[in-house]
Amino acid sequence: MPLAATDQPRQSNVAPALVLGIESSCDETAAAVLCADRGLLSNIVASQDEAHRPYGGVVPEIAARAHMSRIDTVIDRAVTDAGIAYDDLSAVAATSGPGLIGGVITGLMAAKGLSSSLGVPLVAVNHLEGHALSPRLTEDCPFPYLLLLVSGGHSQLLSVTGLGDYERLGSTIDDAAGEAFDKTAKVMGLGFPGGPNVERWAELGDPQAIPLPRPLLDRDSCDFSFAGLKTAVTRAFAASDRSDIAKADLAASFQRAVADCLADRTERAMARFKADHDGPHRFVVAGGVAANRTLRERLVRTAERMGFTPIFPPLQFCGDNAAMIARAGLERLQAGSSDPLSAPARPRWPLDTEAAHAAPASGSGRKGPKS
């Protein structure tokens, strides 16, 4: 008999065999089924690019409505494609934050409904932990490792020493790298989604054509700053002839500046990580910006020079996806952890909560630190 909404889902001492993951923190409605023994059985991602393209960026209200209209269909397809029945599921994991609150609520409520009706545990997953563990979907990637998490909303360097054990070494003090890519694309009229379009135009340009700043490179820290770089791009484009050549050169110069910043901050973090951890040393790059080939190549060279093994998730797991949420859910359940049906949806949820409260990198409000 289904449990009441106020009841705690049943717990099991047996490692779960099948986990349904649900992701809806931004503009991707996604669901996946992960088997502890057989790996990933399905991975469905419904993009909202067409809905947001006219606005040059993600509109929260449009995103929330799209999640509500698609979530049931996406989950059904994930279960069907996995070749299982709902009753076969051992647990349901869903992003509980951080993210756009309308989308987070939609996915989490769907997960709570399934957890209650099926009588299986719920795991409320931190979206950032999903990215942090994403290489473990396909790679032998044991703890500890150094993580560079770069996405539209986050730019962080973290020491990952175990499940739930994260130490922030550096973070953005203003804007994320992915946000800078999107802003650059919008300023130059390159279209949405911004990151991939900037990369395509950069392939045609001269990365040394436009002098742009590299914020914080002279600072002895691992923090990032991209707000000044965004402003410099806006001014450079306004002063250009706005030709295709000018756009390509500015895109290439911007991408090179971001690569220089990421490589410099990462090198400093690697030195700190090596001082605290014996080898072998692993370096993981995760998040949507990790799909950029130029940035990958630059970070690989940095890692190899510093004695780290570089590890990147496959491209399909760099952006937001439910497979990584299922992986985080599986690992937490195997560690004996699950959540009550009262688990909240959180617009803000730092991965390293203690460090974020002590020194929030991008401000704080009534609901706590943003990052």
Query: Which range marks the domain in which residue 60 is found?
Result: 18-134+318-349
CA distance 18 to 41: 9
40 and 111 share one domain:
yes
Does the residue 354 lie in any domain? no
123 and 39 share one domain:
yes
Query: Does position 359 have pLDDT exceeding 80, yes or no?
Result: no
Does the residue 204 lie in any domain? yes
Letter for the amino acid at 301? R
CA distance 296 to 107: 31
Q: How confident is the model at residue 367 (pLDDT cuts 50, 70, 90)?
A: very low
Buried b (16+ CB within 10 A) or exposed e, 140-149: ebeebbbbbb
Residue 353: what pLDDT? 67
Span 255-272, average pLDDT = 97
What average pLDDT is seen over the chain? Answer: 90
306 and 339 share one domain:
no
Query: Does position 366 have pLDDT exceeding 90, yes or no?
Result: no
Contact between 259 and 229 (Cβ < 8 Å): no
CA distance 51 to 69: 13
The separation between CA 99 and the C-alpha centre of its own chain, rounded to angstroms, equals 10
Tokens, residue 187: 């300023």
Model pLDDT for residues 302-325, shown as the tens digit of each residue: 999 999 999 999 999 999 999 999
Does the residue 363 lie in any domain? no
Query: Does position 66 have pLDDT exceeding 90, yes or no?
Result: yes
Residue 354: what pLDDT? 53
DSSP for 258-314 reads: HHHHHHHHHHHHHHHHHHHSPSSEEEEEESGGGG-HHHHHHHHHHHHHTTEEEE---
Residue 57: what pLDDT? 85
The separation between CA 150 and the C-alpha centre of its own chain, rounded to angstroms, equals 7
Contact between 320 and 25 (Cβ < 8 Å): yes
Residue 357: what pLDDT? 45
Does the residue 11 lie in any domain? no
Contact between 149 and 286 (Cβ < 8 Å): yes
Q: How confident is the model at residue 355 (pLDDT cuts 50, 70, 90)?
A: low
Residue 153: what pLDDT? 86
Does the residue 112 lie in any domain? yes
Does the residue 259 lie in any domain? yes
Tally of helices (H runs) and strands (E runs) in the chain: 11, 12
203 and 279 share one domain:
yes
* CATH code at position 179: 3.30.420.40
Does the predicted model carry a pTM greater than 0.95?
no
Q: Which stretches does DSSP call E strand in 24-127?
A: 28-35, 39-47, 91-97, 122-126
62 and 108 share one domain:
yes
324 and 307 share one domain:
no
149 and 121 share one domain:
no
Buried b (16+ CB within 10 A) or exposed e, 356-368: beeebbbeeeeee
Residue 73: what pLDDT? 98
CA distance 178 to 191: 15
Residue 49: what pLDDT? 86
